Amino acid sequence: MSSKEEVLKALSSLTLPDGGDLVSRDMICALSVEGGIVRFVIEAPDPEAAARMDGVRRAAEAVVGKVAGISSVSAVLTAHGPSKPAAKPQAEPSAPPSLKIGGHPTKQEGGPKPVSGVDRILAIGSGKGGVGKSTVSSNLAVALAKQGRKVGLLDADIYGPSQPRMLGVSKRPASPDGKTIIPLQAHGVTMMSIGLMLDPDKAVVWRGPMLMGALQQMLGQVEWGKLDVLIVDLPPGTGDVQLTLCQRAAVTGAIVVSTPQDVALLDARRALDMFDNLRTPVLGLIENMSTYICPECGHEAHLFGHGGVEAEAAKIGAPFLGSLPLDLDTRLAGDAGTPIAAGDSPMAQAYAQLAERLVAGGMA
């Protein structure tokens, strides 16, 4: 029975009109070989290129059909990015090469590597969504910057990037050579998000390798400069992005954010176990949405319970970094693009205390 390796070898023998082959140029994805039936996708860089590649598609089907044991071949053409804009009538300087985001990651030998210019990498994770992890990440980054630290923020929540909105940035990062990515600056923080590179209204429909490749690009191709700490806002759960980060980058440690309710703590324990398996130190736990204080009467209510995260921290022997209330102004500030930590309100002071604790402990 034929294998994927045999199919890829056959495809690599097909030279493209403009040089290289489908395999070396990373244009083959979703390859499956099942009982002599082969299916794969040829991913062109843009719709215009895809329209010119039907002959290549037919040739690819023909060359794979000659592999022993193959009875049926089906290839589909798709495009990675949007159409190129129409040429302007006036002559303009040539634009830098387009930067393709995502794709299969390259091999890395020798275990986790440091990110150039970055002293510490701090991962902010959670077991489940909706616990305020991204809000904590953006405000903690701003609070550390106010402490005089050189801070970077990487939005690694590729399926649901929210940091551009929370930090009030929407400009597409520059890429002078099609490889290097120039990050943006907001509220004293150097930031990068996949949300700045893609259409904000389009879903990211990627499998694991594409996610891993995108994260590798944002770690290795972004010109972070000299940073004291790079905060990585992870997606919820225990998936490909978390594994890729901890296996490829020298992560200093992780902070786990959870609400105090039992359901959230169940998932937080899974996140803690993941970091333990990946040999990533857990630097502490944060209890978010711990209390709610009525702005009208001052009554304090524990909508999601109270103290569960602190008890969990004591149970596993990890530092408890503090509790943060459920606060309307924090939500409004994030939606407006100015994190509440940038001001001087009681919530800003709470984040300032968190930042001071991390700096004093040598974690940031």
Model confidence pLDDT, tens digit, residues 207-258: 777 777 888 888 888 999 999 999 999 988 878 888 888 988 999 999 999 9
Residue 301: per-residue pLDDT: 75
Residue 92: per-residue pLDDT: 40
Predicted confidence band of residue 96 (pLDDT cuts 50, 70, 90): very low
Q: Is residue 60 in a domain?
A: yes
Angular region, 15: left φ>0, alpha ψ -120 to 50, beta rest? beta
Q: Is residue 98 in a domain?
A: no
Which of 84-93, 142-151, 157-166 shows the lowest per-residue confidence on average (mean pLDDT)? 84-93
Q: Is residue 92 in a domain?
A: no
What does the block give as tokens for 35? 């009982």
Residue 5: per-residue pLDDT: 87
Predicted confidence band of residue 312 (pLDDT cuts 50, 70, 90): confident
Residue 132 sits in the same domain as residue 41? no
Residue 32: per-residue pLDDT: 87
**184 pLDDT higher than 90:** yes
> Of 22, 53, 79, which closes a domain?
79
Q: Are 355 and 144 in contact (CB under 8 A)?
A: yes
Q: In this structure, which long-range contacts are made by residues 69-73, counting pairs with CB atoms below 8 Å and at least 24 apart in sequence?
A: 69/1, 69/2, 69/36, 70/2, 70/7, 70/36, 70/38, 71/36, 71/37, 72/36, 72/37, 72/38, 73/38, 73/39
**175 pLDDT higher than 80:** yes
Residue 152 sits in the same domain as residue 261? yes
Residue 361: per-residue pLDDT: 86
Residue 296 sits in the same domain as residue 353? yes
Higher pLDDT, 252 or 49: 252
**89 pLDDT higher than 50:** no
Q: Mean pLDDT throughout 160-176?
A: 89
Residue 105: per-residue pLDDT: 59
CATH of the domain at 32: 3.30.300.130
Residue 214 sits in the same domain as residue 293? yes
Residue 276 sits in the same domain as residue 171? yes
Higher pLDDT, 352 or 35: 352
pLDDT per residue as tens digits for the range 100-124: 566 555 666 667 888 999 999 999 9
Which of 44-58, 71-85, 131-145, 232-246 shows the lowest per-residue confidence on average (mean pLDDT)? 71-85
Higher pLDDT, 49 or 134: 134
Q: Estimate the crossing angle of helix 240-248 against helix 208-220, to 10 degrees.
A: 40
Residue 132 sits in the same domain as residue 253? yes
Domain count, the chain: 2
Q: Is residue 108 in a domain?
A: no
CATH of the domain at 192: 3.40.50.300
Q: In this structure, which long-range contacts are made by residues 342-351, counting pairs with CB atoms below 8 Å and at least 24 apart in sequence?
A: 342/142, 342/146, 342/187, 348/143, 350/322, 350/324, 351/139, 351/140, 351/142, 351/143, 351/324
Higher pLDDT, 163 or 216: 163
Residue 23: CB atoms within 10 Å: 17
**95 pLDDT higher than 70:** no
Q: Is residue 96 in a domain?
A: no
Q: Is residue 304 in a domain?
A: yes
Residue 66 sits in the same domain as residue 134? no
Q: Are 251 and 123 in contact (CB under 8 A)?
A: yes
Which residues contact residue 127 at a Cβ distance below 8 angstroms, ignoring those fewer than 6 apart? 236, 237, 238, 256, 258, 264, 266, 267, 268, 269, 270, 271, 272
> Of 79, 95, 129, which closes a domain?
79
* Domain assignment of residue 45, given as a range: 4-79
Predicted confidence band of residue 91 (pLDDT cuts 50, 70, 90): very low
Average of per-residue pLDDT values in the chain: 84
Predicted confidence band of residue 97 (pLDDT cuts 50, 70, 90): very low
Residue 74 sits in the same domain as residue 126? no
C-alpha 32/C-alpha 138 separation (Å) is: 40
Q: Is residue 86 in a domain?
A: no
Residue 127 sits in the same domain as residue 257? yes
**1 pLDDT higher than 60:** no
Higher pLDDT, 340 or 24: 340
**304 pLDDT higher than 80:** no
C-alpha 72/C-alpha 64 separation (Å) is: 9
Residue 224: CB atoms within 10 Å: 20
> Of 60, 79, 98, which closes a domain?
79
Residue 11 sits in the same domain as residue 144? no
Residue 70 sits in the same domain as residue 123? no
**170 pLDDT higher than 80:** yes
Q: Mean pLDDT throughout 325-346?
A: 91
What does the block give as tokens for 228? 């004291």
pLDDT per residue as tens digits for the range 19-45: 788 888 888 888 888 888 988 888 888
Residue 80: per-residue pLDDT: 64
Q: Is residue 135 in a domain?
A: yes
Residue 325 sits in the same domain as residue 192? yes
Single out the residue of 179, 178, 136, 182 nearest to residue 157, CA to CA: 136
**292 pLDDT higher than 70:** yes
∠ CA 355-286-327, rounded to 5°: 85
C-alpha 344/C-alpha 323 separation (Å) is: 18
